[in-house]
Each structure stands twice: as structure tokens, then as C-alpha cells.
Amino acid sequence: MKVVSFFAGAGGLDLGFEQAGFNVIWANEYDKDIWETYEKNHPNTKFDKRSIVDIPADEVPDCDGIIGGPPCQSWSAAGAARGIQDKRGQLFYDFIRILEAKQPKFFLAENVSGMLINKHSTALDGIKNLLKNAGIGYDLSFQMLNASDYNVPQDRKRIFFIGIRKDLNFKYEFPTETFPKITLETAIADLQKKALPALEFNNTNGNKCPVPNHEYMIGGFSTMYMSRNRVRNWDEQSFTIQAGGRHAPIHPQAPKMKLIEKDVRVFVPGKEHLYRRLSVRECGRIQTFPNDFVFHYKKVAAGYKMIGNAVPVNLAKFLANSIMKQLNANAKLKKKQKTNADKLPV
């Protein structure tokens, strides 16, 4: 089945769909910091670099599915949380514009759990209604998932909109199956002693990294960062991998940060040398990108950004597999019904 991808980023969602057997024939990403990474890791996908706002629907290939994660910063529960009032939040409408014009069998849209806070309820209801009524209409399923339940070594709550075109006559059911938790030790222990600090001004070490992208951002830690513990143990799962490198979790080789007073923590005295941010490669592992997926950038901040904004590959694959299975089961049922109908006497 053919899929097109919007807001593709580095392609975590796309890779998961490819691993599930879908053919991602076309993808769109406007952020030039990501272009080289996407093109080199998805060589068989036609890549469009325009803003979705500037893409006429008739220039998007016909497809069986449309997938994407419209920019989520404006919906975040942290910060301003401007939601649909922000131009980035409004890009959701362009996603719906393309959906309405192309009318694929299904769509999947991913966003942050911040969409669920009360101040966004009216906008969220409006988006749901637009998705349901796009073209001939879609049966919409909507659920928040934690990636930690789906072979991803990270606490990461995200919401998913999955729609099935109404003429297919079934509604997508989110699977109830979950998996044992994967620990940081399982995910990244083999990388512990190979990481390099970024160069001055957080420039990349490039080919000098013994493992591709295994370098970490240098520089101080903000008061906000030091307001709570940022260390998870080896036998735990990672905190959410964010798009900002300065907010990357601390490597589990360090002891958990010491509480001094409310909202004030310090690195354990005498152990300060153990406290470093997770590397770009370690964050990629935690987001379940494969080892041969190389991120291309000049500033390490760009590496953290493209990884932190991605859908974890294993979670994407799990959802893609379930969509494929349900679509195939529906097609098989329809074929059987048609065969039985044809056998009826005239």
C-alpha cells in the first residue's frame, strides 16, 4: 500500500510504516536542517521541501494512506500552549485540506498530549469534526499512548488520530497488546564509554565519532533544568527525549541528582564528572532508530531536534502493522461478501 508523509522530519514514522510493509512514495518536510538526513536515509522516497501551505493537493500523489505529525510545539502543556492560535497549530488545517482532496483509505496524525488540556478542548473538538467530515468522511479513532508500552525504552505520551474512510465500513481499533518494558541498560549500555563531547560552540565531531552521532551537547544547565531530577537508573526507562539538546536527560552512569530544597537540585558532590547529557546516538537508540540510520548536521542541536521531534520507530511500526492487518481483514471480508452475493440466484 502506498503512503505519503507530511511533516516527515527525520522519518521515524515513515521508517516504522516501511518496516510494516507500506511503501512511503512521497514525503514533505520544510525544515532545511533535516533535508540531508531524510534524503540519505530514505533514498526511494520522493522528497518535497516546500511548506505544506504552498503544496497544491493535486501535486500530492494518489495514495492509500496519509501520515504525519503536524508541529506540536504550539500544543505543548509547557510554555505558552497557544495551540490553534499559533501558526504552527494551524498547519493541522492544511493536513486536513490535503486529506479532503486525496481521500485515502486511512490517515494517521500524531501530536503531543498537551492537546488534551482544557484550554484546547474547543479547538480539539473542531479538529476532530474536520477530520471526521473530510470528503466523504472518516470513522475516527483517538487515543493517547505511552511509547514505553510498545518496545520503546522511554516514557513518552502522545495522542494519535487514526481515521478509516467511511465507505470501508469499519472503525480502526487500537490494539490492546503491550510489551515488557525495555530498560536503558538494554538500549544503550554498550555505548557508555565511547561518547565524545561536542566541539566548541557545539559543533559536530563529524567522522571523528567512533560511533556515528555518538556525541553530546556541552555547556551549562539552566535553573529550570536543575529544578528536578534528570537522571534515570540503568534499570529504568528514559525520560521523554525532547527536541532541545540542552534538555536531554543525563546519562544513567550518574547517580540521581540531590535535592537541596524545593525545586533546587545539584549533582552529587564528588561525582560531577559522571553527569553528561545523553548523546545524539543514545537519544536515537531510545527513539528506536536503527544503528545504520545516520543523522546529518553541523550543530549537534540539530541532531537532538530531529530525533526529539520524531515518532519512535517501534511505536510507528506497531501502529502501522495494526492498520495493515485491519485493512487487509476488511478487504478479505468484502471479497468474501461479494463472492457470496455473486452465488445467489438471480
Is 179 inside any structural domain?
A: no
Residues of the chain with pLDDT under 70: 72-89, 342-346
The answer to whether residues 270 and 197 belong to one domain is: yes
Q: Domains in the chain: how many in total?
A: 2
Residue 76 confidence (pLDDT): 39
Residues annotated as part of the active site: 72
The answer to whether residues 330 and 281 belong to one domain is: no
Residue 178 confidence (pLDDT): 87
The answer to whether residues 23 and 123 belong to one domain is: yes
pLDDT in tens, 173-201: 999 988 999 999 999 999 998 999 999 99
Give the residue numbers spanning the domain of 16.
2-174+313-342
Residue 23 confidence (pLDDT): 98
Residue 79 confidence (pLDDT): 40
The answer to whether residues 194 and 284 belong to one domain is: yes
The answer to whether residues 50 and 99 belong to one domain is: yes
Residue 86 confidence (pLDDT): 43
Residue 179 confidence (pLDDT): 92
Q: 3-state SS of the chain?
A: CEEEEECCCCCHHHHHHHHCCCEEEEEECCCCCCHHHHHHHCCCCEEECCCHHHCCHHHCCCCCEEEECCCCHHHCCCCCCCHHHCHHHHHHHHHHHHHHHHCCCEEEEEEEHHHHCHHHHHHHHHHHHHHHCCCCCEEEEEEEEEHHHCCCCECCEEEEEEEEEHHHCCCCCCCCCCCCCCCHHHHHHHHCCCCEECCHHHECCHHHCCCCCCEECCCCCCCCHHHCCCECCCCCCECCCCCCHHHCCECCCCCCCEEEECCEEECCCCCHHHCCECCHHHHHHHCCCCCCCCCCCCEHHHHHHHHHCCCCHHHHHHHHHHHHHHHHHHHHHHHHHHHHHHHCCC
Is 54 inside any structural domain?
A: yes
The answer to whether residues 329 and 189 belong to one domain is: no
pLDDT in tens, 243-272: 999 999 999 999 999 999 999 999 999 999
Residue 117 confidence (pLDDT): 79
